[in-house]
Structure 1
Amino acid sequence: MMAKAPTEQTRVRLADLNDRTGLEFDLRPDDLEGMAQELELLDLRKVRFQGALRPDGKRGWRLEARLGATVVQPCVVTLAPVTTRIEEEVLRRYRPDFDRITAEQTERDGEGVPMPEDETLEPLPAEIDLMQTLTEALSLALPQYPRAEGAELGEARYAEDGVTPLKDEDLRPFSGLAALRDKLAGSEGEED
């Protein structure tokens, strides 16, 4: 039987867990206002992070959870409130050999910042902060450009006084060729 985390406990020391059964958790944070401010949201409601920490391999751990939240963000066009329901599966795999995996990949792929190909891999910490994991997962799941229904970006045109502003089609190098072709085809037909 898997142990259950107390609802107020958010930091879990991995050394304290039974390495055969793991830990189930069900977080429903009380301080939604603080979390909304941290994520720059207008409002945050109905947040739940439910899942389990299970042994993964000899010394690794796997966090599998379901994140549910209702968020309100400003529309990128009108700044009107946009409400979105988020339902997201969250997977994190904490591996003791994380450094070796990233070093092998960097060696194989060349120079650069060592990053694992598998986005779910993370280094094995001494403890896992479930509230921090919830906040990170919610941040990644937020719509990047929330848009209110019917809100559209108009065409922006800028120019100095007395100058006709360029339009999008003016910047397309081949946009006038079809009109020129049609004009030339029309003048050839007049000669016959």
Structure 2
Amino acid sequence: MEAPVTALPPSHLRLADLPNRRATDFALVPTAEERAGIADELGITQIRKLRFAGQLTPAGACDWALDSTLGATVVQPCVTTLDPVTTRIDVEVTRNYVADWVEPDGGESEMPEDDTIEPLPAILDLNAVMIEALALALPDYPRSEGAQLDETVFAEPGVTPMTDEAAKPFAALGALREELEKKGK
């Protein structure tokens, strides 16, 4: 007796079931509720828009290539003021799923030249690829317009405070050079 075939969510593709002579188109547009869940997962304030669309194309006998675009409008807190910062993201997402993937062994390994290569999964979770691509595309340090990081200086009474300018390794040499140049003129 055969095992029953379980239905997969639309964002999951069983690669063995896809046509192996032509590309398969896909498009994911998460609902407001799904976007809110992704925003929570990524630790950002809001995802106003999100679309992930492209093609899965057979590459050789067993491999697959994913070529897609990710478009999103996200809101994150400013790193200096915590004001909301809205960012538009439009990136190309490419993955190459190969059947002969060899997992690096040992504690250290070199990064491959082609960072789009991944092991061939039996079931490809497009939702996971979308979330990973969005996480990689998010600005690391979003800043609202005009936001500046002010300098705060602390020191014990009677001690000259250390400032950012004084902490620069060649600040004293630069001042000495300027002084010598003035004397030389």
- The secondary structure found in structure 2 opposite 1:176 is helix
1:69 and 1:173 mapped to 2: Cα distance? 41
Aligned to 1:27: 28
Alignment-derived partner of residue 92 in structure 1 = 95
| Residue segments in structure 2 that go unaligned for 5+ positions in a row | 1-8
Q: CA deviation at 1:112?
A: 1.5
Query: So what's the TM-score if we normalise by structure 1?
Result: 0.81
Q: How far apart are the structure 2 equivalents of 1:187 and 1:86?
A: 54
Larger Rg belongs to: 1
- Partner secondary structure for residue 94 of structure 1: strand
- Deviation per residue, 1:102-122 (Å, 9 max, x gap): 57xx9xxxx713542211000
Question: What value does the CA root-mean-square deviation take over the aligned residues?
Answer: 2.4
Relative to 1, partners in 2 of residues 1:149 and 1:16: Cα closer, same or farther, differing over 3 Å?
Answer: same
Residue 130, structure 1, aligned to residue 126, structure 2? yes
Mapped partners of 2:137, 2:182: distance in 1: 55
Alignment partner, residue 143 of structure 1:
139
- Work out the number of aligned pairs and report it: 175
**Distance (Å, rounded) in 2 between the aligned partners of 1:118 and 1:188:** 56
- Structure 2 residue aligned with 1:120, among 99, 116, 121? 116
Instruction: State the distance in 2 between where 1:179 and 1:149 align.
Output: 33
Change over 3 Å in CA distance of 1:17–1:158 after alignment to 2? same
Could you tell me how far 1:32 is from its partner in structure 2?
A: 1.0
Larger CA deviation: 111-120 vs 141-150: 111-120
Using the TM superposition, give the Cα deviation of residue 183 of structure 1 relative to its aligned residue in structure 2, in angstroms.
4.7
Is structure 2 residue 48 aligned with structure 1 residue 45? yes
